[in-house]
Amino acid sequence: MTFRVVQIPVWQDNYAYLLEADDGCTGLVDSPEAAPILAALERSGRRLTHIFNTHHHPDHVGGNSELLERFPDLEIWGGQYDAEHQRIPGQTRALLDEETFRWGGEDCTVRAIPAHTHGHIAYLWKNRSAFVGDTLFYGGCGRLFEGTAEQLDHALYGVLGCLPDDTRVFCAHEYTASNLRFAAHVDPENRALKAAITEVEMLRAAGHSTVPSTIKREHEVNPFLRCDTHAIRLAVGSSPGAARHEVLGALRRMKDEFRC
């Protein structure tokens, strides 16, 4: 790998990610707020050159303007939809679905994955690091604020779920413990899930992050990637012939209302 990923905890449960490249470039995946990011940059002695925004929500772009003031030549990249609707402060480049670029010595493919929002994109680096914003979490997925269950199905099963098993999944929130509690509610006999819950409890008790996950782990424990299984279809009460996106939509509505 020719860049190092530094996880920056922000607010209560957000993560931003500094990408420290060997060639001196320094990228940032999402910018909830500027202060912790500036502190991390000061510790590393690096100058921010790029922001890679996944979508327009304030807890992902809230620090853009302040960081741009600090680094006037800063490149701010995001998806085409958000650029067209001027939803990302300071955006300098609009990225298209399946567009590729090279940064930090690594090739990256951009994938449009609208569901959580219309403009959501993922950054899929060839070194098998996937920055997925709020679309896929460890054990969960993002709410459907703007998109549809059909779009979420494509994002999870047609794009992210097809990545190699050892792909590291860098999501934007520490939601894992609550996600796995819901997963256990709908998939109670899943042995891999039970083991994951124990591991996550130990990590959180020690003050450690549970992120990144891997695609292999998500296929094992994430109910939103297990909508073809009997357990999940039973949990949502779907009819035998129900399309997968219908199961996925019903599961997401269950999660919206779940209290643990």
- Whether 134 is catalytic: yes
Q: What is the pLDDT of residue 1?
A: 55
Give me the mean pLDDT over the 67-91 stretch.
Answer: 98
- Whether 245 is catalytic: no
Q: What is the pLDDT of residue 239?
A: 84
112-126: pLDDT as tens digits = 999 999 999 999 999
pLDDT category at 259 given cuts 50, 70, 90 is: confident
- Whether 228 is catalytic: no
Give the length of the chain: 260
What structural domains and CATH numbers belong to the chain? 3-257 (3.60.15.10)
- Whether 59 is catalytic: yes
Share of the chain above pLDDT 70, in %: 99
Q: Is the pTM of this model over 0.75?
A: yes
Q: In the predicted model, what is the mean pLDDT of the chain?
A: 97
- Whether 118 is catalytic: no
Residues 6+ apart with CB under 8 A from 121: 54, 55, 78, 79, 95, 97, 110, 111, 112, 113, 133
| Residue tagged active-site, from 50, 56, 60, 120 | 60
Q: What is the pLDDT of residue 110?
A: 98
CA-nearest of 109, 117, 113 to 87 is 117
Question: Which tokens belong to 211?
Answer: 């992120």
28-41: pLDDT as tens digits = 999 999 999 999 99
Q: Which amino acid is at 65?
A: S
